[in-house]
Amino acid sequence: MNAAANNPIFHKSIFQGRLEFGPGKNIEKALQLYTVRAEQYYRNEIIFKPEQIFLMDQGNIDIPRTVMQASDRYFTNTLNLLDYIAQFANAGSLGAWLIENGKVLRHKMVEPQSDKIAVQEYIRGRKLVGTKGKEKEAIEALNAAINKYERHSQAYERRGYVNFTLKNFKDALHDFNKALHFDENNALAYYGRAQVHLQNEDKKKSLEDLSLAIQKSLALQMVHWQARYQKGELHYQLKQFKEAAFELKLFTDRHFDATDSNSLKKRDAAFTYAKILMEQEQFEEAAQRFNIALASLEDDSKTSSKITKSDILLQRGLAKKLAGKNGFMADLKEAATLGNKEAQKILQTK
């Protein structure tokens, strides 16, 4: 007999999300299929028993954030079973991660992919979101998905982003509220609503929604760090330096792949966090954080940051000087050479 089968290796597993079937026959069919397949295909070697995740009166499978040790077999069986059942759902999204020492071994977002109109129109609309000139088509597709399944939280959330892009802020707010009415764990909807509040110059409400976006998402998800970065910057604008430092330190200490849009904010986050450290008279650490901001200049083609090399050199020079470290004059001179007027003024007074 295979020794690995007798001594399975366990990893950290995370499941979180919801699949919408609708009450009545739909959810009853889903329950029947889940139960039969669990017994016949997987010999009940799965993580979730039906009674743990099926909410029959609401018509959905709901898995609140669940973190546990699981063998590869149990994780794979559960993921495959949920993926199978998802094809009978009208809407929803459910994430599964298998992790070892912080490294993601496996990850999948389980979503309906069937030929149901609600499913296909949502997929079509989602693909069009963010494509300039295709906003009308995106809204039409998302409208069709909602008309077929009124509780489609993701369709409302995606439509909210399209309306936000079109500066239809009132409609965007309506859509994000509807998305959250049908799924209070939709982190993207909280993040979207925070953007509307910012447009309405309500930073307090924006901070509240950014906090909820962080709480409802995992640190493995892009939106989690988008919310942390923006929350830190907002706290900084409000001169809430302690709160800002907490968020921005986490952000700058995080490694992002080049494909993650959060990597483009690394310079801004490090720069702002370093300035907070300057305010707190932690000059040596501030200089180190300005180093991180400088390192982000290596790929300057994709970032939209307005912070220049001369800005960073100026601040690093000041931090070094106040920390009693060598090299501050070289930073100030280079910043001045690059056209930084404040650095030029400082050098003229010496």
> Please, what is the average pLDDT of the chain?
94
Domain ranges of the chain: 3-110, 115-183
**pLDDT of 24-72, one tens digit each?**
999 999 999 999 999 999 999 999 999 999 999 999 999 999 999 999 9
Give residue 253's pLDDT band: very low, low, confident or very high (50, 70, 90).
very high
Q: At what angle do helices 309-323 and 328-337 cross, to 10 degrees?
A: 160
Task: Determine the average pLDDT of the residues in 138-150.
Answer: 97
């859509």: which residue's tokens? 175
Residue 86 pLDDT:
97
Residue 298 pLDDT:
64
Rounded CA separation 144/117 (Å): 8
Rounded CA separation 53/88 (Å): 16
Residue 107 pLDDT:
96
Least confident of 5-9, 93-97, 159-163: 5-9
Within the chain, strands assigned E span: 10-20, 54-55, 60-71, 91-100, 103-110
Q: What are phi and psi of 107, to 5 degrees?
A: -155, 140
On the question of pLDDT at 79 being above 60, the answer is yes
Fold of domain 115-183 = 1.25.40
Task: Determine the average pLDDT of the residues in 97-123.
Answer: 96
Residue 299 pLDDT:
57
On the question of pLDDT at 350 being above 90, the answer is no
Residue 292 to residues 272, 276, 287, 289, 318: CA-CA distances in angstroms?
Answer: 11, 15, 9, 5, 16
Give residue 296's pLDDT band: very low, low, confident or very high (50, 70, 90).
confident
Task: Determine the average pLDDT of the residues in 191-218.
Answer: 98
Rounded CA separation 287/315 (Å): 8
**pLDDT of 322-348, one tens digit each?**
999 999 999 999 999 999 999 999 888
Give residue 3's pLDDT band: very low, low, confident or very high (50, 70, 90).
very low
On the question of pLDDT at 1 being above 50, the answer is no
Least confident of 165-169, 184-188, 222-226, 344-348: 344-348
Residue 300 pLDDT:
54
Residue 305 pLDDT:
79
